Structure 1
Amino acid sequence: MMLSLWLSMLAFTLVGSVAPGPVCVVTVSSAARAGMLRAMPYVLGASLGYALMVLLLGLGLLGSLAQSPAVLQGLAWVGAVYLLYLAWRIARAEPGLPRMADVTVPGFWAGALAQWLNPKAWLFSLSGLSMFVSNQAQPLAIFCILSLFVCLFGVGCWALLGHLLGGRLPGARAMRVFNLLMALLLILSVVLILLP
């Protein structure tokens, strides 16, 4: 019985972590411009930020916030503004190639903040908690640990994809086009977040 619960949690968290979204778009863009290692602080921040969200929601410390439609709507708008800011930065980014040391990319705190300002991360974590955790400490701990490691794996795969793409772009012009495409994808994800 416990093994089937763990496998269900694993499948749920894996789908959530590899599904394209704002965090994944920023990760791909960062790794393409600065390499996988330089994108890893963002990946780590996003993963730890999400796991902390799951833990606090699971402990009931954020329950009233998460159940308020006004708070979730406000969160959606604040998150949208932040993600649009990131899209603007990506669009205006220097067309650096992966080995350029002076290319700036979002770091640890930007990754953590992106998760906390992403209404879909809130809704996904609440869905997972309602399906797998019934106010018991052991399932909550397991779900939090799985959320952390599977998010590291899933978002890390997006970093690897960005690194591989960035290494194959033929020059600065191609990198500019890639940056614009990533910015447009991020804007599209904002539109999808704001749609009811």
Structure 2
Amino acid sequence: MSIAEYSPLILFVIVSTFTPGGATTLATASGAHFGYYRSMPFMYGIALGLGSMAACAAAGLGGVILAFPSLQFAMKLAGSLYLMWLAWKMTRSGPPHLHASVKRPTTFVAALWLVWHNPKGWAMTLGAAASFASVASQPVYLVFTLGCLFGIAAMFSLSLWCIAGLLLARLLQTDMQWHFFNALLGLLLAISVIPMWL
């Protein structure tokens, strides 16, 4: 199969992973407060989580989760509460040398947990599996293709957002600018919860 036949899927994955949302907001904040290298476990957790979610969606697990409204609601609620807690911590933090509320980057396990409790992510990866099932000649190829594409694209996207946060941090000179920046990121993170409920 040629690369041209995969191009619609690749475009879908790129747009899905680069669009601003909870993970990209957290990557920007992490880059601003902790730098790129200290943010890598978080980015690896999100990338692995999204890649494994896409693989599971292609294998059929996503359909099972979406078939049980109570399970879907519980996941949505847990994910929303966690994101709101992170948003609250973010808005209360100051410059990197004062950030008493955010002492370390989000961990690999927390990032993985966050992704797997996101019904929007399940819907997106399940939609990709259903829409692009024809690109793979066998189901196992679809599992592998979706898992790899979503994982790689997420890591690349989060890296760019993290670097953007790092560059923004160099422009912020005063405590007031840092408080405004953190409040804005916290607000964006809180807003990112809304699409999960629509």
Q: Structure 2 length as normaliser, TM-score?
A: 0.88
Whether the 8 Å contact between 2:62 and 2:126 is mirrored in structure 1 is: no
Q: Distance in 2 between matches of 1:187 and 1:136?
A: 37
Q: CA deviation at 1:94?
A: 3.9
Greater CA drift, 72-81 or 123-132? 72-81
Query: CA 1:191–1:139 in 2, change beyond 3 Å: closer, same or farther?
Result: closer
The Cα offsets for residues 110-131 of structure 1, whole Å up to 9 and x where unpaired, read as 2212211222111110111101
Secondary structure class of the residue paired with 1:47: helix
Q: Distance in 1 between matches of 2:61 and 2:79?
A: 21
1:14 alignment partner in structure 2:
14
Secondary structure class of the residue paired with 2:180: helix
Q: CA deviation at 1:90?
A: 0.9
Q: Distance in 1 between matches of 2:21 and 2:70?
A: 23
What is the CA RMSD across the aligned residues, in angstroms? Answer: 1.8
Letter in 2 for 1:43: M
Letter in 2 for 1:168: L
Greater CA drift, 172-181 or 127-136? 127-136
Match of 1:169 among 168, 172, 179: 172
Q: Structure 1 length as normaliser, TM-score?
A: 0.89
2:136 maps to 1:159 = no
Unaligned runs of 5+ in 1: none
Q: Distance in 1 between matches of 2:184 and 2:23?
A: 15
1:189 alignment partner in structure 2:
192
1:180 alignment partner in structure 2:
183
Q: CA deviation at 1:71?
A: 2.4
Q: Distance in 1 between matches of 2:53 and 2:7?
A: 21
Greater CA drift, 60-69 or 142-151? 60-69
Query: CA 1:72–1:114 in 2, change beyond 3 Å: closer, same or farther?
Result: same
Q: Distance in 2 between matches of 1:179 and 1:17?
A: 23
1:148 alignment partner in structure 2:
151
1:137 alignment partner in structure 2:
140
May I ask how many residue pairs the two structures share in their alignment? 191
